[in-house]
Chain A
Amino acid sequence: MNPALPDPWKGEGMKILLATYWLIPHVGGVWKYMLQIQERLEAMGHQVDLLGNSPDYSKFHIINRGQELHKAALRPLLSAKLSAAHTPLLHRDPIINFYEEDRYNMELSAAYFGLGQYDVIHTQDIFAARALNRVKPAHVPLVVQVHGSVSGELHNHFRLNPQLGVQEHSPAWKYFNSIEYYGASSGQLTITSTEWQKHELVHDFGVQEQRIEVFQYGLNTIPFWQSAQLGTDVQKPPGKKVIIFPARLAFVKGIDVLISALGMLKYMRNDWVCWIVGEGEKREELQQQTAGLSLLDDVIFMGERRDIPALLMQSDIFVHSCIQDNQPFSVMEAQIAGLPACVSNAGGLPEMVEHGVTGLISPVKDPLTLAQHLNMLLENDKYRRKMGKNAAKWAKKHWSMDQMIARLLNAYERAASSL
């Protein structure tokens, strides 16, 4: 063990930096994950700082300490020294320029805040990983966690928007492969929560297999049950079962697949309603699709809500028909609530749901199979309830926060030992 690192098992508190390139605070899963880790580690006597971009992108900040550095203090010099004339590679595409320059802002901000004070740094994305690896002192271990595939999402975006003119041979396309590799290869150890993510990092991006460790997320169930007990002002319609899909209204979540499936389900039965909980850029398009299928009385867009645990408790079936996802918290919460899950086979979802035991898995973008699965669960109350009970048992065993924190501390120690 690195003598510089206090031993958490002997009650010595470590100073830990959790860092993300993305915005903090934020409604997304990464922020929720960081807060959960912070709470648990601080309860164990460690000190945890949270570094990230500010919600308006104007600065990087260590939010819990009120420390900040405005990008305006860095930008004039960076713009002059990194102009197109001096650094043409940086200016091959505006998207490369945007992400790289903002990452350099993060590097300089992190140096300004001082990384030598930490016993371990734990980054939450590839940009933060590469950034902090470049500026941290050599004696500070870095653990890199990969929650999703930035390049996968961006490549999807390029495919769906051909007017952008970005194809596989384009610099912008290749850039995301490069940053994914260098980000995920930073520091001493890489953590992912699914074998799917590990496979992608190794086979698609060339990250060394032996440096990657897989362990599942945990979920603190106390706030979940507290929120569930507060209840909701939403009432389940009499005589109907509720199909719920809590998600950001974005392409990658595949909500259009569920709506298509519901269009078919309506021909099979009408003893259901669907609650779509979330906001996003696809709202108008999804509402148009709903109207086009004459589902306006059956599908309710509820917007962003804080009472999701209570809504889950009123629901009968959970759906996550996404195009790509790693290990979404929404599936974990649905399982804790004892709901059977109808999910797609995208990303890490098949590692979360056992087909026929805790839920039903359909191929990505296959609304017909999803409709048949929903029909099967609505038809057979006993089968549906049994699956829900199995899901709750699975959740209790697999989504233990204590287990995840123990594995994380172990990862910190091993990263320190390998320096």
Chain B
Amino acid sequence: MPGDPYMVIGDLYNRIFAVQSSHIDVLVDYAVWNRIFEQLPRNYTLPDMEVLAFD
């Protein structure tokens, strides 16, 4: 139906996560996540290990 978000598997965007894991049940809005993904720097990862590695 026009206007409904086009949902895709979130695993498509695994590149930005430090730990690559599969969650085929998690669907995300393609238009939103694709736009985000295109804008992120190549080296961008989650979580932000620099800030978290304070010990």
**Of residues B19, B27, B36, B55, which shows the largest number of chain A Cβ atoms within 10 Å of its Cβ?**
B36
In contact, A135 and B41 (Cβ under 8 angstroms) = yes
In contact, B32 and A100 (Cβ under 8 angstroms) = no
Neighbouring B residues of A111 by C-beta, 8 Å:
35-36, 39-40
In contact, B19 and A81 (Cβ under 8 angstroms) = yes
In contact, B47 and A104 (Cβ under 8 angstroms) = yes
Question: How distant is B15 from chain A, measured CB to nearest CB, in Å?
Answer: 11
Interface of B is mostly: mixed
In contact, A112 and B39 (Cβ under 8 angstroms) = yes
Q: Is A114 an interface residue (CB 8 A)?
A: yes
In contact, B44 and A134 (Cβ under 8 angstroms) = yes
From A76, A107, A114, B28 is in contact (CB under 8 Å) with A76
In contact, A87 and B51 (Cβ under 8 angstroms) = no
For the complex, what is the distance from the CA of A309 to the CA of B44, rounded to whole Å? 47
Neighbouring B residues of A112 by C-beta, 8 Å:
32, 35-36, 39
Neighbouring A residues of B54 by C-beta, 8 Å:
171, 174-175, 177-178
In contact, B13 and A86 (Cβ under 8 angstroms) = no
In contact, A89 and B36 (Cβ under 8 angstroms) = no
**Closest chain A residue to B25, Cβ basis:** A80
**Closest chain A residue to B13, Cβ basis:** A77
From A80, A89, A178, B23 is in contact (CB under 8 Å) with A80
For the complex, what is the distance from the CA of A116 to the CA of B17, rounded to whole Å? 23
Question: B residues 34-55 with Cβ under 8 Å of A?
Answer: 35-36, 39-41, 44, 46-55
For the complex, what is the distance from the CA of A76 to the CA of B46, rounded to whole Å? 14
In contact, A77 and B28 (Cβ under 8 angstroms) = yes
In contact, B47 and A82 (Cβ under 8 angstroms) = yes
In contact, B51 and A77 (Cβ under 8 angstroms) = no
Per-residue interface assignment for chain A, residues 129 to 141, with 1 indicating a CB less than 8 Å from any chain B CB and 0 otherwise: 0100011011000
Q: Is A17 an interface residue (CB 8 A)?
A: no
From B10, B33, B40, B49, A81 is in contact (CB under 8 Å) with B10
In contact, A86 and B19 (Cβ under 8 angstroms) = yes
For the complex, what is the distance from the CA of A114 to the CA of B37, rounded to whole Å? 11
**Closest chain B residue to A100, Cβ basis:** B47
For the complex, what is the distance from the CA of A171 to the CA of B18, rounded to whole Å? 21
Question: A residues 87-133 with Cβ under 8 Å of B?
Answer: 87, 89-90, 96, 100, 103-104, 107-108, 111-112, 114-116, 130
In contact, A104 and B46 (Cβ under 8 angstroms) = yes
Per-residue interface assignment for chain A, residues 146 to 182, with 1 indicating a CB less than 8 Å from any chain B CB and 0 otherwise: 0000000000000000000000000100110111001
Neighbouring A residues of B32 by C-beta, 8 Å:
69, 73, 112
Neighbouring B residues of A100 by C-beta, 8 Å:
47-48, 51-52
Question: How distant is B23 from chain A, measured CB to nearest CB, in Å?
Answer: 4
From A73, A86, A89, A182, B29 is in contact (CB under 8 Å) with A73
For the complex, what is the distance from the CA of A134 to the CA of B42, rounded to whole Å? 11
Given A86-B19, A134-B44, A137-B41, also A77-B33 (CB < 8 A): yes
Q: A76-B26, A86-B19 are in contact. List 16 more A-B contacts (CB 8 A).
A: A73-B29, A73-B32, A77-B10, A77-B13, A78-B46, A80-B23, A80-B26, A81-B23, A100-B48, A134-B44, A135-B44, A171-B54, A174-B54, A175-B54, A177-B54, A179-B51
Query: Can you spell out 13 A-B residue pairs with CB atoms less than 8 angstroms apart?
Result: A73-B28, A76-B26, A77-B23, A86-B17, A86-B21, A90-B52, A103-B48, A108-B36, A112-B39, A135-B44, A138-B41, A171-B54, A174-B54
